[in-house]
Amino acid sequence: MSEEKNSRLFFTIGIFVIPLPTINSLHIQDSMDTIQIKDKTFRPYIRREEIKAAIEKIAARINNELAGENPLFICVLNGAFVFAADLLREITIESEITFMRMKSYSGTQSTGVVKIIHGLDEDIKDRTVIVVEDIIDTGFTMQRIINQLKEREPKQVKIATLLFKPKALKCDVHVDYAALEIPNDFIVGYGLDYDEQGRNLKDIYVIAD
């Protein structure tokens, strides 16, 4: 399929040549159930239906526990954009959302250095905030965020994550809302990338090699 990159198909009737729609550039090759992203193979891990059900469950808890707080959701870009969009649409209480951007991963490993690419613009003094992450792995990113937020004297800081790897955690981070707990394997899809690829996958895949 990769050979179809940027290709344009032509359908010939007699002397007329009718261009068919452009086939999108395919960075990801399907082969059986596995996918290839650059030099790595991934296999299906968590299906979209399971992700959806897990998000609905934590959204129900947030709706119940934080009603009347008008919480500010802080989506941590890039990875959490898909989760935040789906979570927020399950939130029925008064709330707001904003964004910050962090970076600590390179390839399949944490660099151990958490960079703040774009900090928080909002005043959060005396507010309830919920940090929304796609994944908590070593916890270094979340610890850095929490330390930063606490300097601004919020009323309380809650943590919501789609995925949590308890066995990989190296920091004292208390996760309030974890949709799914997983073992210490590298995963992609549903916002999570391998070398910036694969964020668009609707299901979550785990590294197979």
Ligand X SMILES: O=P(O)(O)OC[C@H]1O[C@H](OP(=O)(O)OP(=O)(O)O)[C@H](O)[C@@H]1O
Ligand Y SMILES: Nc1nc2[nH]cnc2c(=O)[nH]1
Q: Say if CB 31 and CB 189 are below 8 A apart.
A: no
- Compute the least distance from the CB of residue 104 to ligand X, in Å: 4
Residue number, 69 or 100, with CB nearest to ligand X: 100
**Could you say which of 71, 79, 189, 198 contacts ligand X (CB under 6 A)?**
79
Strands 10-13 and 16-19: antiparallel
Q: Say if CB 143 and CB 173 are below 8 A apart.
A: yes
Contacts of 54 (CB under 8 A, 6+ apart): 162, 179, 180
**Could you say which of 124, 136, 175, 188 contacts ligand X (CB under 6 A)?**
136
Interaction between residue 164 and ligand X (CB under 6 A): no
**Could you say which of 71, 139, 189, 198 contacts ligand X (CB under 6 A)?**
139
121 among known catalytic residues: no
Site for ligand Y, rule CB under 6 A: 105, 135, 137, 186-188, 192-194
Residue type, 110: S
Q: Say if CB 160 and CB 177 are below 8 A apart.
A: yes
Q: Say if CB 88 and CB 97 are below 8 A apart.
A: yes
Q: Say if CB 177 and CB 58 are below 8 A apart.
A: yes
Which range touches ligand X (CB under 6 A), out of 15-23, 33-41, 57-65, 76-84? 76-84
Q: Which among 30, 39, 123, 137 is annotated as catalytic? A: 137
Active site residues: 137
Binding site for ligand X (CB under 6 A): 76, 78-79, 102-105, 110, 133-142, 193
